[in-house]
Amino acid sequence: MKSHKMLFGLQLAFTLAVCAFLIVPVVLSILAGLTSNYFVGLESGLTLRWVFEVWDGYRDTIFRSIGIALACLLVTLVLGVPTAYVLTRSGSRLSRVVEELLMLPIAVPGLATALALISAYGGMGGFRTSWTFILVGHVLFTLPFMVRSVLAVLASIDLKTLEEGAASLGASFRQRFFDIVLPNCRNGILAGSLMVVTLSIGEFNLTWLLHTPLTKTLPVGLADAYASLRLEIGSAYTLIFLLMIVPLLLAMQAFARPRPRRFISDDPVPESK
């Protein structure tokens, strides 16, 4: 009994130590963005001055990141959901090869993908200097996550039987896709959507090479703030970034939890005497 308590105590201490190792730097960074003088510490007083300065100087990067993330979500939905459906319906060896090829942008370093895009499309002046150039890189990076999320859900249901049953009742392909396929993979679409948005907002490696001075995103602006301005400015920028990304991460965790299924019994409920 004592050995079990000791083992539990050691596990708890190790868990708390890991949490402290991960959380303490974030807390210190947030405090740095809210103190009047980081080197003096909390004794200098709390202020929102640095947050307002970041908002005044960098709000365009925030809105641009949100716009790119939403556009990336739309593109990955249009491309990823039908792709996952085709791969599930096919089930051939070729589909498995295609599925693995879709994972290449994750395995390849982001800088290498960005260099490949610049080599291929860097000569297109208007496209190269547009935010859509960054969007292409983000779609390449996030599309596998959308496909995998939807694939995981579709693979867990008997999709073929459901579609055959709907077809036997006269449902067209469009009706089967929108009334059978999409409702059954809703959880995968929601989980993939949240993942795409969070990854797009926080993506740095690709964006660092693909951006121009007029198309900076939030992570690039954050790096510039830490490199060229006061530490308080960079920390306040981090605080704004966390306020955007943490709710999305919590939502992603909530949607990832399995939903309890409710079963309705066919047996009549006995009448109370």
**What's the pLDDT score for residue 139?**
93
Is 2 within a domain?
no
| Residues 6 or more apart in contact with residue 11 via CB below 8 angstroms | none
DSSP 177: I
**What's the pLDDT score for residue 134?**
92
pLDDT, the chain, mean: 81
Is 208 within a domain?
yes
Phi-psi region of 41 (alpha: psi -120 to 50; beta: other; left: phi over 0): left
Span 177-198, mean pLDDT? 86
The proportion of the chain whose per-residue pLDDT surpasses 70, expressed as a percent, equals: 90
| Structural domain range at position 231 | 24-256
**What's the pLDDT score for residue 264?**
44
The pLDDT-based confidence of 254 (bands split at 50, 70, 90) is confident
Is 193 within a domain?
yes
The pLDDT-based confidence of 1 (bands split at 50, 70, 90) is low
* pLDDT for 240 beyond 80: yes
Through-space distance between the first and last CA atoms of the chain, rounded to whole angstroms: 50
Is 105 within a domain?
yes
Q: Which residues pair with 46 in a beta bridge?
A: 35
Rounded Cα gap, residues 131 and 149, in angstroms: 27
Burial annotation 74-110 (CB, 10 A radius, 16+ → b, else e): ebbbeebbebbbebbeeeeeeeeeebeebeebeeeeb
pTM of the prediction?
A: 0.78
Span 124-147, mean pLDDT? 89
Residue bearing the bigger pLDDT, 135 or 173: 135
Is 269 within a domain?
no
The one-letter amino acid code at 143 reads L
Phi, then psi, of 191 in degrees rounded to 5: -65, -45
**What's the pLDDT score for residue 263?**
43
Is 11 within a domain?
no
Q: What's the pLDDT tens digit per position in 78-117? A: 999 998 888 888 767 777 777 778 887 788 888 888 888 8
Q: Which of helix, strand or coil describes residue 91?
A: coil
Is 266 within a domain?
no
Structurally, how many domains does the chain consist of?
1
Q: What's the pLDDT tens digit per position in 51-80? A: 888 888 788 888 898 899 999 999 999 999
CATH number of residue 108's parent domain: 1.10.3720.10
Is 36 within a domain?
yes
Give the position of tokens 């690709």. Answer: 206
The pLDDT-based confidence of 265 (bands split at 50, 70, 90) is very low
* pLDDT for 256 beyond 70: no
